[in-house]
Amino acid sequence: MSFAGKTLRELENSGLRRQLRVHSGEILNFSTNDYLNLSSHPLVRKRAIEAVELFGAGAGGSRLMAGNLSLHEDLERELALLTGMKTALVYGSGFLTNLGVLTSLAGRNDVIFSDRLNHASLVDGATASRAEVRRYRHGNVEHLSDLLRSSGSVGRKIIVTDSVFSMDGDVAPLRDIHKLSTAEGCLLVVDEAHAIGVFGSGGGICKELGICPDVITGTLSKALGGYGGFAACSAEMREYFVNRSRSFVYTTALPPASVGSALGALEVINSTPGMGSSLLDLAADFRKKLVETGFDVNGSASQIVPVVIGESPAALSLSRSLEDKGVLAVAIRPPTVPSGTARLRFSVTLAHSSDDILRTVSELERL
Domains present along the chain, CATH in parentheses: 42-271 (3.40.640.10), 274-366 (3.90.1150.10)
CA distance 285 to 270: 25
| The predicted structure's pLDDT at residue 26 | 80
In this prediction, residues 214-239 reach a mean pLDDT of 98
Three-class SS state of 24? coil
Q: Report yes or no: 297 and 290 within 8 Å, Cβ to Cβ.
A: yes
| Dihedral class, residue 324 (left if φ above 0, else alpha if ψ from -120 to 50, else beta) | alpha
CA distance 27 to 315: 19
| Burial grade of 19 (CB within 10 A; 0-12, 13-18, 19 or more) | exposed
pLDDT at 11 over 80: yes
pLDDT at 46 over 90: yes
pLDDT at 20 over 90: no
**Nearest-10 Cα torsion for 316, 322, 326, 330:** -40
The tens digit of pLDDT for each residue in 128-183 reads 999 999 999 999 999 999 999 998 778 999 999 999 999 999 999 999 999 999 99
pLDDT at 13 over 80: yes
CA distance 287 to 59: 43
Q: How confident is the model at residue 334 (pLDDT cuts 50, 70, 90)?
A: very high
Q: Which residues contact residue 77 at a Cβ distance below 8 angstroms, ignoring those fewer than 6 apart?
A: 87, 88
| The predicted structure's pLDDT at residue 152 | 79
| The predicted structure's pLDDT at residue 153 | 77
| The predicted structure's pLDDT at residue 88 | 98
CA distance 129 to 104: 7
| The predicted structure's pLDDT at residue 154 | 81
Beta pairing partners, 133:
112
Q: How confident is the model at residue 19 (pLDDT cuts 50, 70, 90)?
A: confident
Count Cβ neighbours within 10 Å for each residue of 295-313 and write b for 16 or more, e otherwise. bebbebbbbbbbbbbeebe
